[in-house]
Chains A and B, each alone.
Chain A
Amino acid sequence: MSILSNIIDAAKEVVEVARTTAQGMSVTLSHIPTRKETVSYPEEAVTIYRRFRGEHFLDVNEDGKEKCVSCFLCAAACPADAIYIEGAEDQRPYEERIGQDHRYAKVYQIDYGRCILCGFCVDACPTDAINHGHNFEWAVFTPGEMVKDKDFLLANKWREPDVTPNENQLHLAARQKMDKLNIILK
């Protein structure tokens, strides 16, 4: 008697386990054909929010003049001391010179080994010269390569998926041959 009831209890349990498992799996399995969450990066593009703070780019204006006036405010605001600038003077008339002002940055470096992507520099900039782009690919072999120079940061702008240079800016876009970011902006 007692043996029989034991067998019945065990069978009930098996059935119960099978039922709940099937129920749980049905939820899981029901998602498989509907939404694909995994991206096979880097073969495929990742989707990134517009407000994502990625690697910076230095902006140029409509005439292709660098917006940065080398005011050092970004460097002053930076809590990580990641920005290094050397200012210089360019006395040529507007058409010929590099920046939008006589004052421009001869050297502009951001050390991504230090940068914490806080965005303070972007807030501080009086000319909107420095902006966050969306790049996050920083794998390098030596720490020195983490330091990005001005040309790189300028070219970063043209890597943004939704930015195309106008004719005044074309020569800048060609300065560093870099591919568009493999991202989808959302």
Chain B
Amino acid sequence: METVKITINGQEVAAPKGELLIEACEMNGVYLPRFCHFRGLTPQASCRMCVVRVDNPKIPKLQTACTMPVSDGMVVTTDSQEIEEVRSAMIEFLLSNHPVDCPVCDRAGECELQDQTYGFGEDRTRSQYDDKENFLERQISPFIYNDPQRCVVCKRCTRVCEEWMDEFAITTVNRGSQTLISSFSGWVECSDCGNCVDVCPTGTLLHVPYKYVARPWDLKQTPTVCNFCSDGCSMLAGSRSEKLIRTVARDGRGRTAGGINHDFLCSLGRYTIDFVHNRQRVDRPMVRRGEHLVPATWDEALNFVAQRLSEIKAQNGGESIGVISAGRLMNEDQYVLRRFAEETIGTKNADFYHDDDEVDLAAFFKYGTPAIATQEHIQSADTILLIGSDPNEENPLTAFSIRWAVRQKAARLVIVNSMPSRLERQAQTAVRVREGSEPALIHALVDESRINDAASAMGVDAGQISDIRRVLVESAKVVVIFGDELRSAAVEALALLEETLATPNPEVAEASRKAHIDALQRAVKSSNSTQKPSINENPYTYIVEHPTLEVAAEPVSSATKFSFVPLVRYSNSMGAWQMGLDSAGTGGLSAQAMINAAGGSIKALYIAGEDVVSKAGGNASIVRSQLEKLDLLVVQEMFLTDTAELADVVLPVTSFAEAQGTQVNNGSQVQFVRRTIPPVGQARPDWMIVTQVARLMGTDFNFQGQLKNVFKEIAEKIDGYSGLSHNLLANEGATIIRRALPDSGRIDHADLHNRLAMLTAAIDRSVAVDSSELTAKAGSRLQNRYPLITRYSEMISPKLAEESALEAPAPVIFPA
């Protein structure tokens, strides 16, 4: 990283070139007060709290450190009589029109206005101003309260909504002391991410579920990880009196260090957590007696399970028993389930439940582990290729990172999708193709001669595809983000990109990047010379106005040109794969095949955490009748789901808030999930239950009831985990799991090309390309994405009903 030397208060220090002065000071231990500045947002410079004196005869006035990039030899004073006076005057002005109702304000205790008044203000005011603006408090969305009196008009909230979320759901209205934050229609229609609330330095925006419930100093704050999508946001879970109360994001540094997600969380990670305390939680083991499931003791239930499994194993052999887990269970659970299947039961039929329309990890990892990009990689990418997914509605943190890359690093975003996405607004190239034809793009990329064919299959111009190909060739580093729409052979063929799209030489890449930035600069300048183009019109405003910032941060990139982000569906789908609980690895039946074979070759199923009935969507009745054919169905669940209701035994398990373990996100980063609250009722962690059943069946895994022993074994046995331990992960935050890169020698090119050609040929060319504008409300698909859990959240479930129920899952192959 290029650094410059600056002098802060007489001390010479180093700072990254082009970094903002306020950040450079903070890096060197000098905190400057601020309201409007927030890392990752366009400079606003409205609060004047960050003023400093720069020793330069050409700059006679105090300067705002939040807008000034550092330059070599800069001499700065951050602390003097003059500066102190300005700061305390600014605070006095703010407070003269502030209600100062801290006792009833939920922000008190973590309010930046409070902190800065203590730190930099006076203890009394000189203005007796009885005419304070008196706006009424109001609720502006199902999740947000607004008390406009408390606003300091720093506009962090509106900028977050525009720049991070691209939603423009809130804005400032009125002028002067009457300025307030408002929605456009009185009710905020947005994806309910709640980020505006979290970044607000005052109590103007507040979370509805957290209203008046507790005080930040009263909460036990536990660093943990979100359990919904595969991005794996790190968060701080606040609990009080054994109740999970709220979650806030963990910044990558500073406030709550250790996170991968800056200050970002989405509506699922933030507002859906109340499912943990839903009254419908199964709080004790249940055993079937005739028609009904009746409560039992743990001993009864475990003995029953062990005895029945042993009987079935003795009668029909181990292969007649299947083990199915859910992609959201943690590594330790998956690992113990795998050992349980292999050693205790002696069956190859073990799989984590994933549908055919989910990212095919088996294909992706077929030749080894390609370079996987983390959020940090995405944020500093040169070019991003997004295929077959809308991260906005599926993996919100990834969408955030993509926008970050575009806005702050002038990354080129290329989208090839069959569905509309809000990210198209940030894209340099956005190509809308036929539904299901995304794989053809990969075909065209790995085989230039097939561009015409592929383009016609996708329903687009061949020129567009060659343009995309050219951009990829000319880019130095490419992050490929792909989702559900990319299937089998196309996923496998991603391994070929590295060799087929190699950049001829570094100069080409450099020239192309320069041309890109020049074009942006021209576009922004010509758009309107007097009026600043709004961010809405041009996402590149930021980079063009602060060109030096582009070089500030060191780009994080992988050794290879291409790196990938497989947008798998569940929080630990990746971990389940790595633990080997996958039919492609074990060589047994897949979860769907096991259900298919129920009553035939499969006599008993042990299902941990998956509602296979509801997941089958339209085929639910078929799955139900299949499960009824089983001799034994054991279900480990939090709720009495449709599947659990059919079970012979239901074993209550802990939710992510009550269990510990590790979880791997789509960037192949393993993170430590901490126990936030004690188990609800008699719930036990999945791994523990399985270990206990195994012991009753005669296999002792020798974990001595200690989770860390499970992980110790994982570190010894599983590729990429060596040297890791719970202690280490708890301290380190997200740690990348590195495994062997793909071995291109193993790729059978002719066969792969063949299969690609078949995929392309199979595309139904009569389907029209969906070129519609995005009309669905932001977040509506996201909030419907994990319905099996979110329906137990009282905060989100009313929205589920409102948004016309569940997404219809793709048909599974079941016998008629």
Please report A residues at the B interface, Cβ cutoff 8 Å.
69-73, 75-76, 86-89, 101-103, 126-127
Contact = CB atoms under 8 A, between A and B. Distances in A.
A71 B216 CA distance: 11
Identify the 3 closest CB pairs spanning chains A and B, nearest first: A71-B103, A87-B212, A72-B215
B217 A89 contact: no
17 contacts: A71-B102, A71-B103, A71-B108, A72-B215, A72-B218, A73-B103, A75-B218, A76-B217, A87-B213, A88-B213, A89-B211, A89-B212, A101-B104, A102-B104, A103-B104, A103-B212, A126-B103
B214 interface: yes
Contacts of A88: 212-213
A76 B215 contact: yes
A129 to B, nearest CB: 10
Scoring B103, B213, B218 by chain A CB atoms within 10 A of each residue's CB, the highest score goes to: B103
Given A87-B212, A87-B213, A89-B212, A71 B218 contact: no
Contact of B103 (A69, A86, A89): A69
Contact of A69 (B104, B213, B215, B217): B104
Nearest to A86: B213
A145 B103 CA distance: 30
Contacts of B212: 70, 87-89, 103
Contacts of B104: 69-71, 101-103
B103 A127 contact: yes
A86 B245 CA distance: 12
Contacts of B213: 86-88
A138 to B, nearest CB: 25
B791 to A, nearest CB: 26
Given A76-B217, A87-B213, 6 more contacts: A70-B104, A71-B104, A72-B215, A73-B103, A88-B212, A88-B213
Question: What's the interface size class on B, roughly?
Answer: 10 to 19
A75 B215 CA distance: 10
Contacts of A73: 103
Nearest to B103: A71
Nearest to B217: A76
B701 to A, nearest CB: 41
Interface in B201-236: 211-215, 217-218
A103 B102 CA distance: 12
A86 B214 CA distance: 7
A73 B108 CA distance: 10
Nearest to B218: A72
A126 B101 CA distance: 10
B214 A87 contact: yes
A115 B215 CA distance: 21
Listed residue (B108, B212, B213, B218) with the most chain A CB atoms within 10 angstroms of its CB: B212
Interface in B177-218: 211-215, 217-218
Nearest to B137: A102
A68 B108 CA distance: 16
Nearest to A99: B104
Contacts of A127: 103
Contacts of A87: 212-214
Contacts of B218: 72, 75-76
Contacts of B211: 89
A88 B108 CA distance: 16
Q: Which of B137, B214, B215 has the most CB of A within 10 A?
A: B215
Residue in A69, A102, A103 whose Cβ sees the most chain B Cβ within 10 Å: A103
Which of B102, B104, B137 counts the most chain A CB atoms within 10 A?
A: B104
Contacts of A101: 104
Contacts of A76: 215, 217-218
Contacts of A89: 211-212
Interface string B98-142: 000011100010000000000000000000000000000100000
Nearest to A104: B212
Contacts of A72: 214-215, 217-218
Nearest to A68: B103
A88 B106 CA distance: 11
A28 B211 CA distance: 67
Nearest to A87: B212
Nearest to B208: A89
A86 B218 CA distance: 11
Nearest to B212: A87
B674 to A, nearest CB: 24
Interface centre among A70, A72, A89, A102 (most CB of B within 10 A): A72
A133 to B, nearest CB: 22
A76 B212 CA distance: 15
Nearest to A89: B212
A86 B213 CA distance: 6
Nearest to A105: B212
A73 to B, nearest CB: 7
A72 B103 CA distance: 8
Nearest to B139: A91
Contacts of A103: 104, 212
A137 B307 CA distance: 60
Contacts of B103: 69, 71, 73, 126-127
A27 to B, nearest CB: 58
Nearest to A125: B103
Nearest to B145: A89
A44 B211 CA distance: 49
B142 to A, nearest CB: 15
Interface in B229-276: none
B769 to A, nearest CB: 50
B83 to A, nearest CB: 32
B633 to A, nearest CB: 41
Interface in B461-515: none
A71 B212 CA distance: 9
Contacts of B217: 72, 76
Contacts of B137: 102
Nearest to A126: B103
Contacts of A86: 213
A76 B215 CA distance: 9
Contacts of A69: 103-104
A87 B218 CA distance: 12
A103 B206 CA distance: 14
A72 to B, nearest CB: 4
